[in-house]
Amino acid sequence: MMNEFINGNDLDGGLREPLTQLTQRIGFIPTSISSLVSFAVELFTLSEGLSPSTAAVREIWSHSVRTGYLAALIAETHSDCSQVIWQSFAGGLLHDIGLLILLSQEAPPFWGVVELALTRGTNLQVLERECYGTTHAELGAALLSRWGGCQEVVDTIRFHDDPFQNSETRFCPASAVFLANLLEGGGIAQDSDGVPNAACEAYLLRLGLWDHIPYWQGRMRDLQNVSLR
């Protein structure tokens, strides 16, 4: 089953190890999640060929693999449901697919938005909304929803930078992906340094995630072995 979506692609280098480790610990990957992983590999491969920013696509992929694996580790700690763990992994893998749309369709102007965000120290999503009327999180969620992704994974994409808008107040895959992405530094063109602000701290405390942050920060060193090679 693994070979259905790990097929010698250049992008599979960072994916093989976390998938193998997760299946050994959690159990067989559900068909629905396998389809999402296949979708992620195909989408990133297509974007790599279409985008003038190939290096950026690979950087997003590497960040996404690490985020997915860390989100699964977080979910393992807070849920005994294998479906939640796998949805967290898939959500981490797909959370930045909206960036692929912007990089393939709007690369030059989008890099201008990125530069402006970094120069001002402004949240990228704020400038995305000013310039495009939407955000990469909303674009990615709409794409996966149209493709037929389950609501739990769609929500991980929609709320990965803004969990406070999520109507689900309990721990869920979106919670795991939000924290994993935060600890990973926010990915490409983000100004996060992996340190939660006051609003994030309150959110993580409410979900019982805050006290575990030092442990997951320690696991970040292990994740370098699953980045894109």
Q: What is the pLDDT of residue 2?
A: 36
Q: What is the pLDDT of residue 198?
A: 82
The pTM of this model reads: 0.87
- Ordered DSSP codes for 43-62: HHHHHHHH-S-HHHHHHHHH
Domains: count for the chain: 1
Q: Which two tokens stand for residue 118?
A: 């970094």
- Within a domain: 7: no
Cβ-based neighbour number of residue 139 at 10 Å: 21
- In the chain (229 residues long), the average pLDDT of successive 10-residue segments reads 43 72 85 91 84 80 92 93 96 95 84 84 86 94 94 96 88 96 69 65 91 87 62
- Within a domain: 4: no
Q: In terms of residue numbers, what domain contains 57?
A: 12-226
Q: Which two tokens stand for residue 60?
A: 């997003």
CATH number of the domain at 151, please. Answer: 1.10.3210.10
Q: What is the pLDDT of residue 125?
A: 87
- Within a domain: 5: no
- Within a domain: 43: yes
- Within a domain: 1: no
- Within a domain: 108: yes
